[in-house]
Every structure is written in structure tokens, then in C-alpha cells.
Amino acid sequence: MDNSKISVKNLDLFYGDFKALKNINIDIKEKGITALIGPSGCGKSTFLKTLNRMNDLVDNVKINGMVKIDKTDIYDTIDVNELRKKVGMVFQKPNPFPMSIYDNIAYGPRSHGIKDKKTLDELVEKSLRNAALWDEVKDRLKKSALGLSGGQQQRLCIARALAVEPDILLMDEPTSALDPIATLKIEELAIKLKKDYTIVIVTHSMQQAGRISDNTAFFLMGELIEYGITTKLFSNPIKKQTEDYITGRFG
């Protein structure tokens, strides 16, 4: 599809001899939330990491096929640092750096050459506001990020990802370590951010996929079984495997 933000064609991924992704084809439109669901070990995280080449860091990984972002093959022509600036990532466990809240957010922009204090101050405030954290931390910016609650730390990690002004945000089970209230805040935040960003989120929770995503992709044993509009996939799945999974018959 021509207007895809992310276009994946015939993607296979091997860990050594093990084929973890099998001929994945998917087009993801700009903006909105795409949820990746499926039972443990089906390849959701592996697929997510192909979108910013995080698998490059794993030994013995072999990838065939094509991943295009904005029509550029990310395994061919693009500089990995530029790619990771454009495609931010948030992980399962909040992982703030052991430094102040301010420095956590300023870290990315500084590493991309921004030194001016006023510019950094503005970026820090904007990113924290975007991540719905500013009001809670504006009086303690110089305090350690490790003193924040788990939910605040996860929003800090989202703010840190936003600070380098990405287009795409990858989230790998971002609420699995959080309580229900912190989870709700992250979900509300994701819904707000999807107006401006293309978000791809791995979730174990079908309820979460149903609450926040526009489109859902169901994976099973390394294959993409079904992909479509979330409400339709959950109410009227095309494939039997999808129906079995969403009705709790396996997984």
C-alpha cells in the first residue's frame, strides 16, 4: 500500500536455526494504534523489534524480506541511529537512567547535539507534558528518576522517547509491570498520543487491545494469522485460530 507508514513484506526471522517469524506481510498506516496480540512465544516482541532493528543486537539473528518505513528499506539504506531517533521504544519494565528526571529527558536531545539550555528546558517540559507527567514532577526535575513510582517511571520513559521527536513509538507490554490505575494512565496517554504518532504495542491483554487500538494483528507460532480493524477482529474474526484465541479456547 502506498500510504503506509510501515510496510513489511515476506519477513522471516531466524534465531540460529529456529524460525521465529514466518513470512510476515503487514502494512501499518500513519498515526493510530496497532496492537500485536497472541500467546506467549508467538513472536510479538520479535516482530516489534524488527521495526527499529533491535534484533541487530542479538547474536545469530538472520532476517529475510523487507521492512520499509516511509518507503525506505530500514535494513538497506538507513543509518541505525537515525532509525532509532525516528522509531522510539518503551519496554515492559520502566528503565529510567540513574540520573535526574531532567537529565533522563535531556539525554537523547543532548546526544543528538542539542546543548542550548533554553532549548533543552523547552524540550524537557514539552516531552513531560506530552507524557502527562509534567504536573507531577515539575517541582522535582533535579531529583533522581529512580524515586518515581513505577507508573511515573513508565511515563518518564515515554517522555524520554518523545524527547527526540520520533514518528513511531514501539511499546512492548508497557503496562505489564504496573497496577490498574497506572495502567489506565498509560492507556489514556496512548490514546492521546495516537493523534500525533504511529504506535505499535505488544499486549498480553485483549481487553487492553480492545480499549486502545484501532487495528489488531494476531500472531500464532511465528505467523501473522489475522490483521484488521480491532472491533471487527474481536467481534467477527475471519480465521478459526483467531476466534479460538479470542474466545479463550487456547493461549
Ligand X SMILES: Nc1ncnc2c1ncn2[C@@H]1O[C@H](COP(=O)(O)OP(=O)(O)OP(=O)(O)O)[C@@H](O)[C@H]1O
Residue ranges that bind ligand X, judged by CB under 6 A:
15, 18, 20, 38, 40-46, 58
Residue 172 to residue 154: CA distance in whole angstroms: 12
Identity at 29, one-letter amino acid code:
K
Pick the closer one to ligand X by CB: 58 or 99.
Answer: 58
Closest contact distance (angstroms) between CB of 120 and ligand X is: 35
Q: How far is the CB of 40 from ligand X (least distance, A)?
A: 3
The answer to whether 163 touches 105, Cβ cutoff 8 Å, is yes
The grid coordinates listed for 45 are 516482541
Q: Considering the complex, what minimum distance in angstroms separates the CB of residue 174 from ligand X?
A: 13
Residue 139 CB coordination number (10 Å): 8
Q: Which is nearer to ligand X, 102 or 219 (CB)?
A: 219
To ligand X, the closest distance from the beta carbon of 65 in angstroms equals 16
Q: In this structure, what are the phi and psi dihedrals at residue 90, rounded to the nearest 5 degrees?
A: -125, 135
Can you tell me whether residue 1 is helix, strand or coil? coil
Which residues does residue 68 pair with via DSSP β-bridges, in sequence order? 7, 73
In the bound state with ligand X, the residue whose beta carbon lies nearer, of 20 and 157, is: 20
Task: Please identify, using beta-carbon distances, which residue of 218 and 234 lies nearer to ligand X.
Answer: 218
